[in-house]
Structure formats: C-alpha cells, structure tokens
Amino acid sequence: MRKFRLCHPLDEKGDKHLIPELLTKEEPNLERRFPPAKCVGFTYSYGSVLPEGLLPRFIVETYVHGEPAQAWRTGVVLELMNCRALVRGDVQGRKVSIRVAGVGKGRRQLLGIVREHFERIHRTYESLPVFEEVPIPGYPHAHVKYELLLKYELDGRDKIAVDVGDQLVDCIVRDLLDGVDLPGASRRAAMATSRSSDELYLEAVKRAQSHTFFISYSHKDERFRDELKGALTAFERLGQLRGWDDTQIVPGQKWEPEILGKLERADIVVFLLSNDFIRSGYCYLKEAKRALERHAARECVVVPIVVRACRFDKLPLGEIQAIVPRRRPISEHTNRDRAWLEVTKQFDQIVEGLNKKDVAVPM
C-alpha cells in the first residue's frame, strides 16, 4: 500500500498507517481559520471529473506536513513553520481549492510545495484536463486563469481586466503572479506545466540549470526520506533540483539496473546516515561505494545527512563533511521543520557551487 501511495505511516517505526480512503467524508468547519481576504489562494478546476483517488494520494504524498487529526477523505490541513494550508476538493464542483494563511514569504513557499505535489500527480494521469486559476484579492469568488496571466506577462502586458460579477476590475499581472509563485520561479516552466506537457516541462527545467539528486537510505528511515523530499520541494519548484529515490521505480522495471543507472547519472548523491544505513549491505557496499568513487573523480557531490546517531566518522565516508543541523541528528530535533531548514541552507551552497562550475565539486 505504501508503494502505490495508498497509505502513509503515523509513526517513525512504521508500525501504524493512515489510509485516506477510509477517512470520514465530513469536512471540518475551518472557514474562520482561513478567511479568503487574508489568505494566498489557488484553484485547480477539472474539465470532466475530479479523479477519485487524487486527494487521497495528495494526502499521502504530503503527510510529513500534515496532521492526521486535520485530514478527511477529500482534504487536509498542512503546516510549514508558522504557515498553514487548507487543501480541499469539491467532487461535485470538480475543483480543488487552496488557501494558505500565515505571514511573510512562508505562505508562498507552502503554496509552492502544494502546487508542486499537485503538478507531479497531474502528470501521472493521461489526458487529464486541468485549469489553474488565481483568485482576485478582495473578490473571493472571482478568478482568472493562471495560464492567461502567464501569456499576458510573456507578451509584456502590465494589466488585465477581470470580470468580478457586475464590473471589470483592472489588476496588475505581475502582482497576481508574484502572489502565487515563489521568488525566482520560472514562469516558462510553469507555462509548460500548465499545458500538461512532460517534454516541454523537462526542457524548461533543463533551461533553468537543474541538477539531479539521488537519495540513498535504509528503508527503516523512510520517514526521513519523505521529510527531505518535502524540504527540497521548493528547489524542485524553482527548477533547481530534480530528485529520485527507489519509490519511483514502476511495476515491471528491474529495480537494480534502475537504481544503479540513476545513481550513475546523479549530480548529487544524498546519504541518510544511521546505523541501519551502515548495516545495509546494499546501501553501504553498493550505493555508497560507487557514489564515493564518483565523488573522488569529481563526477558528483556526495552529501551525507545524519538522521540518527551513528559512528559514520569511523568509515571512509566520514572523510566527507556531513550535515548535522546544530550538531544533532535530525531525529533529536523537537522542531524537525527547523532542522530541515538548516539542511536546505546547505543545499543552497551546493546548488550555487554546481551552477558556477557546471561540474560536481567535492565538498
């Protein structure tokens, strides 16, 4: 069920799981916590039908940001730092609405994470008609198509007249787009994504100087893998990074050639260090061995992250500087979001180094 995104763990040991399809259909009353006038918003409208499994899959894929007590079959509340996102589906209305409450740039970051997950899921459906819409500030029931705003910006038009019911209101195109995009986001990549074209999307990401990262981990550390992927979503949203791990192997593929092939082509190889990683014959003797060889040959950058206390320093990989937020393993932080934030700051430097040199440089 984990493999096919039908459930997610409720604890780090993986002894308990939540199955979104079995949650209640009743939606809690959250209007007061997410007033439209004080939230950043975004909407997905589906031309024919809202796929039945779309919201449950979204809940599974974003579980590291969610609270089980605030999830129902067609919606969930997510949290990142001091911001919260209300994501809910309207099956009859064939749409998904998103509201993000909070202060500062964190709202756009959390919205960017939500949108990145939806866009990944959308690309797995064949010929799924999806229309993205941006709400108009001050007019909660008025929207404008996101793709239309992109066209206006690409055409150099500053304003757009929006029908808000009984009148037309002139809105600044850039203000509407900046309200829902992360600073530095590639609008062209977004345009390609909105056309549901994998080929155009990947070309746009490539133009944004994207680098690939491979996650090597013990399966006893799956939650840390998911937390890392969540923390790096903003990098993927900006077209800076593209991640891969073994959960992306599809049925019918031979797992070992797929893993080793991705490892061989990765620009960054991340080790999630723990005693179970060191004990794993495959992680340490195969993946880590080959990654360290490539690192020494300046073909990739190896990035060890200590997720649980272990004596990795006694091994050859201990010669590489590991990320240990505030000198403590990830598992020992009470506020894991802040711990992963420290990790992402290290990735800023890694990406900058790769961009400047256009080759992998050992740290």
pLDDT band at 359 (very low <50, low <70, confident <90, very high): very low
Residue 363: the pLDDT is 41
What is the mean pLDDT of the segment spanning 215-236? 92
Residue 1: the pLDDT is 66
* pLDDT above 60 (res 197): no
Tokens 């073909």, located at residue: 299
Do 178 and 252 reside in the same domain of the chain? no
pLDDT band at 258 (very low <50, low <70, confident <90, very high): very high
CATH number at residue 25: 3.30.310.200
Q: Which domain holds residue 309?
A: 209-357
Do 198 and 238 reside in the same domain of the chain? no
Residue 140: the pLDDT is 75
Do 58 and 185 reside in the same domain of the chain? yes
| Contacts for 337-343: CB closer than 8 Å, 24+ residues apart | 337/80, 337/81, 338/81, 340/227, 340/228, 340/230, 340/231, 341/81, 341/231, 343/228, 343/231, 343/305
Tokens 């893993």, located at residue: 259
Over residues 295-311, the pLDDT tens digits come to: 999 999 999 999 999 99
Tell which of 203, 223, 243 closes a domain. Answer: 203
Do 21 and 150 reside in the same domain of the chain? yes
What is the mean pLDDT of the segment spanning 248-256? 80
What is the mean pLDDT of the segment spanning 76-95? 92
Mean pLDDT computed over every residue of the chain? 86
Do 198 and 229 reside in the same domain of the chain? no
Do 47 and 184 reside in the same domain of the chain? yes
Q: Answer positive or negative: Cα dihedral of 291, 363, 215, 122.
A: negative
Residue 184: the pLDDT is 62
Tell which of 177, 203, 229 closes a domain. Answer: 203
Tell which of 176, 203, 230 closes a domain. Answer: 203
* pLDDT above 50 (res 134): yes
Do 235 and 154 reside in the same domain of the chain? no
Do 89 and 150 reside in the same domain of the chain? yes
Taking the C-alpha atoms of residue 8 and residue 18, their distance in angstroms, rounded to an integer, is 5
Over residues 266-281, the pLDDT tens digits come to: 999 999 999 999 999 9
Is 0.75 surpassed by the pTM of this model?
no
Domain count of the fold of the chain: 2
